[in-house]
């Protein structure tokens, strides 16, 4: 059962968008990160956004024009067009371009949720963007059509609940040790040695790293660093904390260390990131 929908709207010169959010079924906790997101946008020019590294897997069901994406795993380092797609875990920024109108639905999956729902070795799509039909086959086209034809966002979100719950029942279960390691890294804000985590789980570092690559996409050290970056990013965006206090609180050695790590995962400095934020929470514009 979905909770009440939340609707956010923004309109400014050359850009108007609406975001409709709904809560997934409670049984999807641990598989879906945050809300379902229905998105429509109209702009006067092509919209180019910077997508920084996040510890979740975006799945886009597209009802409108194709998106262009520059993903770090693309060897040509050029924009590629995608319809409905999955973006594997990225450890650096990607760039997206939207046409003058956008109409899509975004589901953010946890890495372990993506592993179970998609049945993938997650390292195979790390730093890559893949068309949805290449991942789940003919089911992709049928799902997109049914979601498009649903009369309301409520109905679409309910259909997503049913679809994801069905796939969970048929997908590979997460390794309990990986789940425990992810929880441990999350509680520590990424500030714990991987050797300590491996010892707690009675695993060798080599075995823990192999399990992470298969079920998460990257090794535990990189994931820990991404968790720390995400915590720092939320402090900057939501709390308005100073950059120096964020660096200290999140466990960076000093301000230069924080700046280097931020540029690694965002592709820009913290100040450049803040300056590029769009009004109303519409993302981060890329020059």
Q: Residue 1 has what pLDDT?
A: 44
Q: What is the pLDDT of residues 100-148, one digit of tens each?
A: 999 999 999 999 999 999 999 999 999 999 999 999 999 999 999 999 9
pLDDT band at 3 (very low <50, low <70, confident <90, very high): low
In sequence order, the 6+-apart residues with CB closer than 8 A to the CB of 256 are none
Is the whole model's pTM more than 0.85, yes or no? Answer: yes
Cα dihedral: 174, 178, 184, 187 (round 10)? -40
- Percentage of the chain with pLDDT > 70? 99
CA angle, 129 as apex, 113 and 174 as ends, to 5°?
A: 20
Q: How far apart (Å, rounded) are the C-alpha atoms in residues 124 and 88?
A: 8
Here the contacts of 195-203 (C-beta below 8 Å, separation 24 or greater) are: 201/177, 203/177
Looking at domain 176-281, its CATH class is: mainly alpha
Q: Is the pLDDT of residue 4 over 90?
A: no
Q: What is the pLDDT of residues 152-170, one digit of tens each?
A: 999 999 999 999 999 998 9
Q: What is the pLDDT of residues 216-259, one digit of tens each?
A: 999 999 999 999 999 999 988 877 778 889 999 999 988 999 99
**Nearest Cα to 226, choosing from 265, 255, 257?**
265
pLDDT band at 76 (very low <50, low <70, confident <90, very high): confident
Q: Is the pLDDT of residue 40 over 50?
A: yes
**Average pLDDT of 249-278?**
93
Task: Please name the residue that has the structure tokens 């400095």.
Answer: 269
The values of phi and psi at residue 25, to 5°, are: -55, 140
Q: Decide which of 281 and 211 is more confident.
A: 211
**Average pLDDT of 264-269?**
95
Mean of pLDDT over the chain: 94
- Percentage of the chain with pLDDT > 90? 85
Cα torsion 109, 49, 236, 195: sign: positive
Q: What is the 3-state secondary structure (H, E, C) of 215-250?
A: HCCCCHHHHHHHHHHHHHHHHHHHHCCCHHHHHHHC
Q: Residue 216 has what pLDDT?
A: 97
26: DSSP letter:
G
Question: How many CA atoms lie within 13 Å of 142's alpha carbon, on the beta-carbon side?
Answer: 5
Q: Residue 77 has what pLDDT?
A: 87
Which tokens is 128 given?
């890559």
Q: Residue 74 has what pLDDT?
A: 85
Strands lying side by side in the sheet with 57-62: 6-12, 15-22, 32-43, 101-109, 57-62, 85-87, 129-131
Which tokens is 190 given?
């990424």
> Do the beta carbons of residue 31 and residue 116 sit within 8 Å?
yes
Q: Residue 242 has what pLDDT?
A: 86
Q: What is the pLDDT of residues 52-62, one digit of tens each?
A: 999 999 999 99
- Dihedral class, residue 189 (left if φ above 0, else alpha if ψ from -120 to 50, else beta): left
**Nearest Cα to 182, choosing from 171, 190, 172, 193?**
190
Q: What is the pLDDT of residues 167-198, one digit of tens each?
A: 998 989 889 999 999 999 999 999 999 999 99
Q: Where are the domains of the chain?
A: 6-170, 176-281
What fold characterizes domain 6-170?
Jelly Rolls (2.60.120)
Q: Residue 114 has what pLDDT?
A: 96
């Amino acid at each position: 059962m979905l909770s009440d929908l939340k609707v956010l709207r923004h309109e400014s010169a050359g850009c108007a968008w609406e975001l409709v959010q709904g809560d997934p079924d409670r049984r999807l906790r641990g598989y879906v990160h945050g809300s379902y997101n229905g998105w429509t946008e109209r702009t006067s020019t092509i919209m180019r956004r910077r997508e920084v590294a996040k510890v979740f897997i975006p799945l886009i069901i597209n009802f409108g024009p194709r998106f262009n994406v520059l993903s770090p795993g693309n060897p040509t380092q050029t924009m590629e067009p995608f319809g409905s797609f999955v973006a594997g875990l990225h450890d650096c920024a990607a760039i997206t371009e939207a046409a003058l109108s956008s109409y899509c639905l975004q589901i953010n999956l946890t890495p372990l949720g993506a592993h179970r729902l998609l049945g993938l070795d997650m390292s195979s799509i790390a730093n890559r963007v893949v068309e949805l039909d290449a991942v789940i086959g003919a089911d992709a086209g049928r799902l997109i059509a049914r979601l498009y034809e649903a009369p309301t966002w409520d109905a679409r979100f309910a259909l997503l609940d049913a679809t994801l719950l069905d796939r969970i029942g048929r997908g590979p279960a997460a390794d309990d040790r990986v789940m425990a390691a992810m929880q441990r890294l999350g509680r520590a804000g990424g500030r714990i040695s991987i050797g300590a985590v491996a010892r707690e789980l009675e695993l060798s570092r080599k075995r823990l790293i192999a399990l992470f690559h298969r079920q998460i996409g990257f090794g535990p050290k990189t994931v820990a660093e991404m968790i720390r970056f995400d915590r720092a990013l939320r402090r900057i965006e939501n709390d308005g904390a100073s950059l120096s206090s964020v660096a200290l609180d999140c466990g960076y050695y000093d301000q230069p260390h924080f700046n280097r790590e931020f540029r690694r995962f965002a592709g820009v400095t913290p100040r450049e990131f803040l300056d590029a934020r769009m009004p109303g929470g519409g993302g981060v514009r890329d020059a």
